[in-house]
Structure 1
Amino acid sequence: MANVETRKNAAGKITSYRVEWYDKGKRQRMSFKKEHAALQWKNLLEAVGEDTRKAETALLRKSSRSPIFEEVANGHIERLINVRPYTVKRYKGYIKNHFDGIAHLPVDQIGEDDLIRWIKMMQKNGKSAKTIANVHGFIHAAMNSAVRRGLRTDNPCNGRLLPSDNATEDKAVFMTMDQMRQILAHVNMWQRPMFELLIGSGLRLGEATALTPADFQLDAETPSVRITKSFQEDDEGNWFVGPPKTKKARRTVALAPSTVAAIRDRVESTRAGEFILSISKETDVFPQHRQWLEHWHNAVGVAKASKVDKLVIERRPRIHDIRHSHASMMIAGGMNLYELANRLGHESIITTTKTYGHLVPDAHFRAAAMVEIALNGEPEQLEKGAAVVDSAQVIDVETVA
C-alpha cells in the first residue's frame, strides 16, 4: 500500500512530501512540494493497484482531452485507402503486440523521451532492428495522421535515430541449383510442378497459387506467365484473390523451356478459370499456403537427414528463399538489377539493390580493380580505369527510383 512520508530540513521545516510504493515488487519513490499533490498521487496509485504506468497514464489523461495513441493508430488504419488486407492485419498486430508504453498515452502527450524508452524496451525484448524500424514507420505515419487531424502540432518521430541492424549473416538463404534439386527429390510428383515453377520464375507463393490456364503462353516465341492477381489474407484470416502486391507486380515473366516442360501437363489438364496448382490431386480447396510451407519444410528436413544424398546447408531455407535463389541465379547469368527488379515485380529498384546488390559480380570486380589502380596505378591508369567504369552499364539507383 502506498504511503506518504513528510520530509523536513535540519530546522524541522517541511520541505517536501515523498510517496513510496511497490510496483511489481520494486520499491518506487516520488517527491512532491505540496501535500495535496502527494495525496492525489497516492490515491491514484491505490486505484490502479500501484501500477506506475497506469497511474501516469491516468494523470496525463486527466490533463489532456486528446484520445490515447492506440485509438489514433486504429483510426489511421481505418482511413487508409487501397491497402492490402494483409497489411491492415500486420498494422493491427503492431498495435496489439508492440505498443507497450505508448498505447495508452494521450497522443498529444507523447514526446521524444517516450519514443526513446519505447525503442529501448523493444531492444530489451529482443526485437530486431528491422522489426523496430517497421513498427516505428507505422507509428510515424499514425502521428502524421494525428497532426493532420489537429490532435497535436508536431510529429515526435521526426529525426528519430533507430538502432542499426547488427545481424552478422544474411536473412535470406541463397541455394544453389544442386541444393534445390536435392530438396525436390523429396517432393511428391503432384506437387513438383509448383516448386519447379517457383524455381524457374521467382514468383511469390501467393502469385503462383492464384494462376489459371489463361495466365500462361506456353507456345509463344518466348513462353511466359502473366501475373495479374494474388491470393491474400484479410484481417480475419480469410483468403481471397486480389490484385498483386504492388503496381509493378503486375507483370509478364518469361519461362525457360525446362520450366514449360515441368508445368505444361498441369496447365493443359486444368479447366478454364480453375487454379492450376493444388496441394493434392484429390482437393481443389484454396488457398493452401500453410500446406505448401509445411511440405517444403518437410522436404528440406528429409533432404538434410538423408544418408544417400545429404543436403549440406547451414540454415534451413524457407519457401520464400526459392525466390531469393532464383534472383541470385539470374544475376549470376548476367541479368542486371534493373531487369531483375522488373522480373520480380519490385516497386522500387532500391528494394532489389538492398536485397541482391551484393551478388552482382561485375560491380565487385570493377570496384576491386578501381581500388587497385587508385592505390598502385599511374595517372594514365586511373584515367583508363575511369573509362572502363563509364562504359559499364551502371544504374543510378536514386535516379531510377
Structure 2
Amino acid sequence: MATIETRKNKAGKITSYRVEWYDKGERHRQTLPTESAAAQWKNLLEAVKHDTQAAQTALLRQISRSPSFEEVANGHIERLINVREYTIKRYRGYINNHFSGLGNLPVDQITEDDLIQWIKRMVKKGCSPKTVANVHGFVHAAMNSAVRRRLRPDNPCNGRLLPKDDATEDKAMFLTMDQMNLIIEQADEWQRPMWTLLIGAGLRLGEATALTRADFQLDAVTPSVRITKAYQEMEDGWAVGAPKTKKARRTVALAPSTVEAIRARVESAVPGRPVFSISPDTLVYPQHRQWLDGWYDAVKAAEANKDAPLVVSKRPRIHDIRHSHASMMIAGGMNLYELANRLGHESIITTTKTYGHLVPDAHFRAAAMVETALTGVLTA
C-alpha cells in the first residue's frame, strides 16, 4: 500500500508531499508539490498494484491533451477520398466493434505494448486472423494520419506481428459443372437464369443484380455482357454505384448456352430496370439476402435429392460460383492474365494467390526446372 507523508520546513509549514511505495520489493519515493497531486499518484499506484511504469503511463494518459484514437480514426475516415460507401461503413464497424481498450486512449500515448494487448484481445474473442489483419490495416492507416497531423511522432503499428492464418483447408470451394447442374435443377425455375449467368460469366453477385437490358449484346458476333456498375451497400441502404475496382469495369464474353439460358429474361426486362429479380412480382431492389436464401435452398435441396444427391465436403457459398467459374476457365486453358481481366481483378497477384495452384502442370514444370538447375540435365 502506498503512503503519503508531509514534508515541512523548519517553521513547521508544509512544503511538499512524499508518496512512498514498494515495486517488486524495491522502495520508491516521489515528492509532489500538492496534496491533490500526491493523492492522485497514490491512487494510480494502488490501481495498478504499485507497478511504477504502469502508473506513469496512466498519469501521462490522464494529463494528455491529445484526442482519443477513436476521434482520430473517425477523422481519418472523414478525410478519405474516392472510397466506396460500403468501405466507409465497414471502417465504422471496425471502430464500433473492435476498438475496445484502444479507442479511448489518447492517440499520443498509445504504445507498441498497447497494440500487442489489443491484438491478443481480438484473438481471444474469436476474431479470425483475416479479421485481425483487416482491422489492424485500418488502425495502421489511422495512425499514419495521426503522424501526418503531428499528433504523435511515429506509427506504433510498424512491424506489428499479426496472428497467422493456420486454417488447413482452402476457403474457396470449386464445384464441377455437373455439381452446379445438380444445384440449378433444384433451384426455383425463375431463379435459374441468374445461377446460369453466374457460373457462365464469373460475375460478382452485386454486378449481376445491377445489370439492365442495355448491358447485354446477345446477338453480337461474340455475345457479351458489359459490367459498368454494381449494387453496393451504403450507410443508409443499397444503391447502384461504380464496380469494385477500375478493372472491374469490363466486357465478359458469353457462351451460346449461357445466352440461350438468359435470353428470354433479358429481352423481357423493362428498360432501365434490373434484369434479374428473385421472383416475377418483386419490385424492390436489390434482393441480396433473398438471393442468398434462394441459393442455399437450392443447395440443400440438391443435397437431399435421393435420385442424384449433391455430395460436397462443405456447403458452397454464392461466391464459390465465381471460384468455380475461374477453375473451369483454367482447366479450359485460360492463363492467369486473361482470367484476371475476365474476373475484373485489380491486380494479377489476387488471381495468382487464389487460383495459381489450379494451373495445369504448374507443379510438374516447377519440378522439371529444379531438376535442370540441380543436375544440368534437361527433362522431358
TM-score normalized with structure 1 length: 0.82
SS in 1 for 2:71: helix
The residue that corresponds to 1:240 in the other structure is 239
Amino acid paired to 1:258: S
The residue that corresponds to 1:156 in the other structure is 156
Root-mean-square deviation (Å): 2.7
**Does 1:129 find its partner at 2:129?**
yes
Query: Relative to 1, partners in 2 of residues 1:286 and 1:67: Cα closer, same or farther, differing over 3 Å?
Result: same
Aligned partners of 1:286 and 1:244: how far apart in 2?
Answer: 17
Amino acid paired to 2:150: G
Residue 63 of structure 1 deviates from its aligned partner by 2.0
**Does 1:301 find its partner at 2:300?**
yes
CA contact (8 A) 2:194 2:276 kept: yes
Within a 5 Å distance, the mapping from 1:283-294 to structure 2 comes to 283-294=282-293
The residue that corresponds to 1:17 in the other structure is 21
Aligned partners of 1:317 and 1:82: how far apart in 2?
Answer: 33
Residue 305 of structure 1 deviates from its aligned partner by 2.1
SS in 2 for 1:191: helix
After superposition, the C-alpha distances for 1:21-71 in whole angstroms (9 at most, x for unaligned) are xxxxxxxxx996348667325657999xxxxxxx99974443211100001
Aligned partners of 2:269 and 2:113: how far apart in 1?
Answer: 59
Aligned partners of 1:143 and 1:17: how far apart in 2?
Answer: 36
Equivalent residue in structure 2 for 1:33, among 23, 29, 41: 29
Aligned partners of 1:72 and 1:144: how far apart in 2?
Answer: 10
**Which runs of structure 1 show a deviation greater than 6 angstroms over 4 or more consecutive aligned residues?**
35-38, 44-47, 55-58
SS in 2 for 1:264: helix
Query: Relative to 1, partners in 2 of residues 1:31 and 1:211: Cα closer, same or farther, differing over 3 Å?
Result: farther
The residue that corresponds to 1:277 in the other structure is 276
The residue that corresponds to 1:184 in the other structure is 184
**Does 1:84 find its partner at 2:84?**
yes
Residue 161 of structure 1 deviates from its aligned partner by 2.0
CA contact (8 A) 2:188 2:298 kept: no
CA contact (8 A) 1:76 1:142 kept: yes
Q: Which runs of 5+ in 1 are unaligned?
A: 8-13, 20-29, 48-54, 389-401
The residue that corresponds to 2:208 in the other structure is 208
SS in 1 for 2:361: helix
Amino acid paired to 1:261: E
The residue that corresponds to 1:341 in the other structure is 340
CA contact (8 A) 1:17 1:38 kept: no
The residue that corresponds to 1:250 in the other structure is 249
CA contact (8 A) 2:2 2:46 kept: no
Aligned partners of 2:125 and 2:109: how far apart in 1?
Answer: 24
Aligned partners of 1:372 and 1:185: how far apart in 2?
Answer: 48
- For these two proteins, the number of residue pairs brought into alignment is 356
Amino acid paired to 2:83: V
Residue 345 of structure 1 deviates from its aligned partner by 0.5
After superposition, the C-alpha distances for 1:254-308 in whole angstroms (9 at most, x for unaligned) are 0001100010001111121111100000112101000000110111112122222
Aligned partners of 1:194 and 1:316: how far apart in 2?
Answer: 19
CA contact (8 A) 2:209 2:230 kept: yes
The residue that corresponds to 2:356 in the other structure is 357
SS in 1 for 2:189: coil
TM-score normalized with structure 2 length: 0.87
CA contact (8 A) 2:68 2:106 kept: yes
**Does 1:312 find its partner at 2:308?**
no
Aligned partners of 1:177 and 1:41: how far apart in 2?
Answer: 71
Amino acid paired to 2:264: D
Aligned partners of 2:74 and 2:346: how far apart in 1?
Answer: 26
**Does 1:116 find its partner at 2:116?**
yes
CA contact (8 A) 2:3 2:42 kept: no
Query: Relative to 1, partners in 2 of residues 1:332 and 1:31: Cα closer, same or farther, differing over 3 Å?
Result: farther
SS in 1 for 2:339: helix
Query: Relative to 1, partners in 2 of residues 1:291 and 1:58: Cα closer, same or farther, differing over 3 Å?
Result: farther
CA contact (8 A) 1:32 1:38 kept: no
Aligned partners of 2:178 and 2:42: how far apart in 1?
Answer: 69
Amino acid paired to 1:127: C
Aligned partners of 1:57 and 1:16: how far apart in 2?
Answer: 18
Aligned partners of 2:205 and 2:162: how far apart in 1?
Answer: 32
